[in-house]
């Protein structure tokens, strides 16, 4: 299997010179193979969103190197990073981040428009991905007219249309009810298993995490442990809950300083 993401001893420190520094990510390394569905978990303030933003090239590294699909993104300038994101990455956010002044169709088409693809190609791709996600009949609506689940599907369609190397999801079920969340996660699993889409997802929800093929637990900016599913999804869920309980106990004991 090809390695599509490699984080090598990355660190992120906030705070200017002379002020108190805060280390969000501390000398962290991990690898991701093509077709993996990795979940990142950890308590609030553990640095999981910072990690995702660094992988997403939105937040520059203080130290270390990130390589995506063999390309090092650490040394790129702003424009190069923009282009890299628009071609190689797909994003799903908790609050969907759909552009509410554009129709569903326009939202989904945007990544291809930005690459100046031909209109025919754009139209056929949008129809294809929209029907794959079951939103083929609402493409002329505006986001304000959609339900939460429909919005998230639109966001996924937009994240997938340009066939990115890596799909990044930040709490994708955070704004959904349990029914819609389950449907969404099933969709992600389908995409992962059938279309071999590699997914990196940050979540604090153990239920969502149980859909992943590998879990990384972050604590105090460091990789605390890894977890692989062994039995059924429910068993995996229980296992995750146990780990989280374990992680939570330590700060209560007052070790964190």
From residue 248, alpha-carbon distances to 142, 218, 219 in Å are 42, 12, 10
User: Which of 12, 48, 85, 219 touches another protein (CB under 8 A)?
Assistant: 85
Q: Among 7, 28, 66, 122, indicate the residue that binds another protein (CB under 8 A).
A: 122
* Identity of the residue, 48 or 85, whose beta carbon is nearer to another protein in the bound complex: 85
Q: How many contiguous H segments (helices) and E segments (strands) does the chain have?
A: 8, 10
Can residue 83 be called a binding residue for another protein (CB under 8 A)? Answer: yes
Q: Does 78 bind another protein (CB under 8 A)?
A: yes
**CA 257, CA 251: separation in Å to the nearest integer?**
9
Helix axes 148-160, 104-114, angle to 10 degrees: 20
Stretch that binds another protein, among 6-14, 43-51, 113-121, 236-244 (CB under 8 A): 113-121
Structural contact between residues 218 and 64, judged by C-beta atoms closer than 8 angstroms? no
Three-class secondary structure of residue 31 per DSSP: strand
Q: Shortest gap between Cβ of 26 and another protein (angstroms)? A: 25
Q: Could you tell me which residues come within 8 angstroms of residue 120 by beta carbon, excluding any fewer than 6 positions away?
A: none
Binding test (CB under 8 A) with another protein, winner from 26, 132, 142, 204: 142
| Separation between Cα atoms, residue 104 and residue 133, nearest integer Å | 12
Q: Which residue among 102, 175, 241, 250 contacts another protein (CB under 8 A)?
A: 102
Which one, of 174, 176, 165, lies nearest residue 198 by Cα? 165
Among 2, 14, 31, 100, binds another protein (CB under 8 A): 100
A 10 A CB-CB count for 65 gives 15
99 binds another protein (CB under 8 A): yes
Stretch that binds another protein, among 26-34, 104-112, 128-136, 209-217 (CB under 8 A): 104-112
Q: Is 22 exposed, middle or buried (0-12, 13-18, 19+ CB in 10 A)?
A: exposed
| Residue 106 CB, nearest approach to another protein (Å) | 4
Using the contact rule CB under 8 A, the part of the chain among 63-71, 88-96, 206-214, 229-237 near another protein is: 88-96
Tell the smallest beta-carbon distance from residue 217 to another protein (Å).
26
Interface region with another protein, contact rule CB under 8 A, candidates 31-39, 61-69, 95-103, 206-214: 95-103
- Rounded Cα distance, 179 and 69, in Å: 35
Contact between 58 and another protein by CB under 8 A: the answer reads yes
User: What residue has token string 């799909």?
Assistant: 167
Query: Taken in order 135, 136, 141, 142, is the CA torsion positive or negative?
Result: positive
Contact status: 111 vs another protein (CB under 8 A)? yes
Choices 3-11, 30-38, 110-118, 184-192; region in contact with another protein by CB under 8 A: 110-118
Residues in contact with another protein by CB under 8 A are: 56, 58, 78-79, 81-87, 89, 91, 93, 97-103, 106, 109-114, 116, 119, 122-123, 142, 144-145, 158
């Amino acid at each position: 299997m090809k390695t599509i993401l490699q984080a090598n001893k990355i660190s992120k420190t906030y705070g200017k010179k002379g002020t108190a520094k805060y280390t969000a990510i501390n000398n962290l390394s991990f690898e991701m193979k093509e077709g993996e569905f990795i979940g990142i978990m950890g308590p609030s303030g553990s640095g999981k969103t910072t990690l995702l933003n660094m992988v997403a090239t939105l937040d520059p590294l203080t130290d270390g190197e990130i390589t995506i699909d063999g390309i090092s993104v650490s040394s790129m300038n702003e424009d190069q990073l923009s282009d890299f994101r628009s071609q190689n990455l797909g994003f799903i956010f908790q609050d969907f981040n759909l552009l509410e002044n554009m129709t569903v169709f326009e939202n989904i088409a945007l990544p291809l428009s930005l690459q100046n693809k031909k209109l025919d190609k754009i139209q056929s791709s949008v129809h294809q991905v929209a029907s794959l996600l079951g939103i083929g009949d609402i493409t002329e609506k505006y986001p304000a007219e959609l339900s939460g689940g429909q919005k998230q599907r639109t966001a996924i369609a937009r994240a997938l249309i340009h066939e990115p190397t890596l799909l990044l999801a930040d709490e994708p079920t955070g704004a959904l009810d349990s029914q819609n969340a389950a449907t969404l996660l099933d969709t992600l699993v389908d995409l992962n298993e059938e279309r071999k889409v590699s997914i990196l997802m940050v979540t604090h929800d153990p239920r969502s995490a149980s859909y992943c093929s590998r879990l990384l637990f972050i604590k105090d900016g460091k990789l605390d442990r890894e977890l692989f599913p062994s039995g059924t999804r429910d068993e995996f869920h229980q296992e995750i809950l146990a780990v989280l309980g374990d992680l939570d106990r330590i700060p209560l004991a007052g070790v964190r300083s």
